[in-house]
A and B are shown apart, each in its own frame.
Chain A
Amino acid sequence: MSAEKLDVSGKMCPLPVALTKRKLDSMASGQLLEVIGEGELEFDNVQRWVKNNGHVVVEASNADGTFKLLIKKK
């Protein structure tokens, strides 16, 4: 299954979480979303929100200031 994509690079808090949430709200259960962004804080915030809200982080990488999260919608 191909993943939807969302780039939140350069967005300040709370946009990375808010945009991820809005995108997931528009998707069907079980669909995948790949989120690309920047910053340790933003990486932590998006990942925490995803887990706290019952979605699944399938893959997570964070290197050289850039992160990538593959999320499966609950």
Chain B
Amino acid sequence: MSYRLTKAVPVHGCSCKLPQYQLGELLDQAGMTSEFGPEVLAGPWENSSVVKIADGIAVLNTLDFFTPMVDEPEIQGRIAGSNVTSDIYTLGVTKIASILTIMAFPENMPSELAVGMLKGLGDFCREMDTPLVGGHTIRNPWPIIGGAATGIGDPERIVYTKGAKSGDRLFLTKPLGIAPAMAAYRLRKEQEGKELLEGISEEVIDAAVNGAIEGMITSNKPVAEVMQKVHVHAATDITGFGLKGHSENMARLSGVDIVIDKLWVIRGTPQLTDIFGYPLFSGESKETAGGILMAVAKENADNLQSELEKRKVRYCEVGYVKEGPGEVHVIKAAEVIEA
């Protein structure tokens, strides 16, 4: 098939997100950061909105869609499923009542690619015990896939981006480096890209690409299960704003400083970063369907690790929380650990 999903768009996955500052300006101008009623427990600043509808019951809503990361449509559908459900799981909620899909495709895109993306998304939702109940599809110059998810949780047990405390330890559940790995995925198919990648072994590129795809299609649901068992002060998933940007949200909302002293990255991505120039080592490289960053009190850290291990969730301790005005410090001598 000559049509390639990743060739149809100039930006891929969460890289198509608006920059954080630009989004903030838009929300400010639209008056969308104004106060809500007491039933709204979380709004635009959070991964999902949270609205308390009755004692003990909150409804969570999120919408997430993006341009293709891969050319294989079913894998692309799975990545979209993993990404949209993550915004609910990140809040420690495991029950997703339903998902609606949003899909856009160009006139010249073969219909089997649209079918494949829907199939991948549907299969992922089925495996998460979440019904895909409908959606909306439009014609559009860029192919797009994603969805809107509705979660149900106990308002007293939801974990927010806000709440990290000085002394907390920080754990991340997927390694970083999606952007350089997937750039290699695309560029190894082009002559100019092949020339750039000369000197890097196929084995290293395969490790990076396979590690990135495996990470993106891995659900964060087991992490939500862990957060229901172990008290976690704050959590956020790591996507388009990168580790540093999402950590900055956590630090600012929590009124603490965050120190990142380990960079846990997909194997092979340091070499690729050296060629492509992504800001991986400053924690600013954009991620797609990334892991969850959790801030947990020292006394609960062993229990958290034990519960993650029971569910075979990979993780790395990447830093800690300290008193401060709400800043993030990615230390220059941060240890780089290849997963």
Please report A residues at the B interface, Cβ cutoff 8 Å: 11-15, 17-22, 39, 41, 49, 52-53
Q: Which residues of A sit under 8 angstroms from B180, Cβ to Cβ?
A: 14
- Interface size on B, as a range, is 10 to 19
Name 13 interchain pairs, CB-CB below 8 A, sorted by A: A13-B10, A13-B11, A14-B179, A14-B277, A17-B278, A18-B275, A18-B276, A19-B196, A21-B276, A21-B277, A49-B277, A49-B279, A53-B277
Distance in Å from the Cβ of B55 to the closest Cβ of chain A? 47
- Which applies to chain A's interface (DSSP): helix, strand, loop or mixed? helix
Give the number of A-B contacts (CB < 8 Å).
Answer: 41
Nearest first, the 4 A-B pairs at minimum CB distance are A17-B277, A14-B276, A21-B277, A18-B276
Q: Is the CB of A15 within 8 A of B187?
A: yes
Distance in Å from the Cβ of A59 to the closest Cβ of chain B? 21
Q: Which residues of B sit under 8 angstroms from A52, Cβ to Cβ?
A: 279, 282
Distance in Å from the Cβ of B191 to the closest Cβ of chain A? 12
- Which applies to chain B's interface (DSSP): helix, strand, loop or mixed? helix
Q: Is the CB of B276 within 8 A of A17?
A: yes
Q: Is the CB of A39 within 8 A of B192?
A: no
In the assembled complex, the Cα of A41 lies from the Cα of B9 at a distance in Å of 13
Q: Is the CB of A14 within 8 A of B278?
A: yes
Q: Is the CB of B11 within 8 A of A15?
A: no
Distance in Å from the Cβ of A33 to the closest Cβ of chain B? 14
Q: Which residues of A sit under 8 angstroms from B12, Cβ to Cβ?
A: 13
In the assembled complex, the Cα of A19 lies from the Cα of B193 at a distance in Å of 10
Within 8 A of A (CB), among B43-72: none
Residue of B nearest to A50 (CB): B277
Q: Which residues of B sit under 8 angstroms from A20, Cβ to Cβ?
A: 277
Q: Is the CB of A39 within 8 A of B10?
A: yes
Contact among A12, A18, A22 for B10, CB-based, below 8 A: A12
Q: Is B15 an interface residue (CB 8 A)?
A: yes
Q: Is the CB of A41 within 8 A of B282?
A: no
Q: Is the CB of B196 within 8 A of A18?
A: yes
Q: Is the CB of A22 within 8 A of B196?
A: yes
Q: Is the CB of A15 within 8 A of B192?
A: yes
Q: Which residues of A sit under 8 angstroms from B276, Cβ to Cβ?
A: 14, 17-18, 21
In the assembled complex, the Cα of A17 lies from the Cα of B179 at a distance in Å of 13
Q: Which residues of A sit under 8 angstroms from B109, Cβ to Cβ?
A: none
In the assembled complex, the Cα of A44 lies from the Cα of B317 at a distance in Å of 32
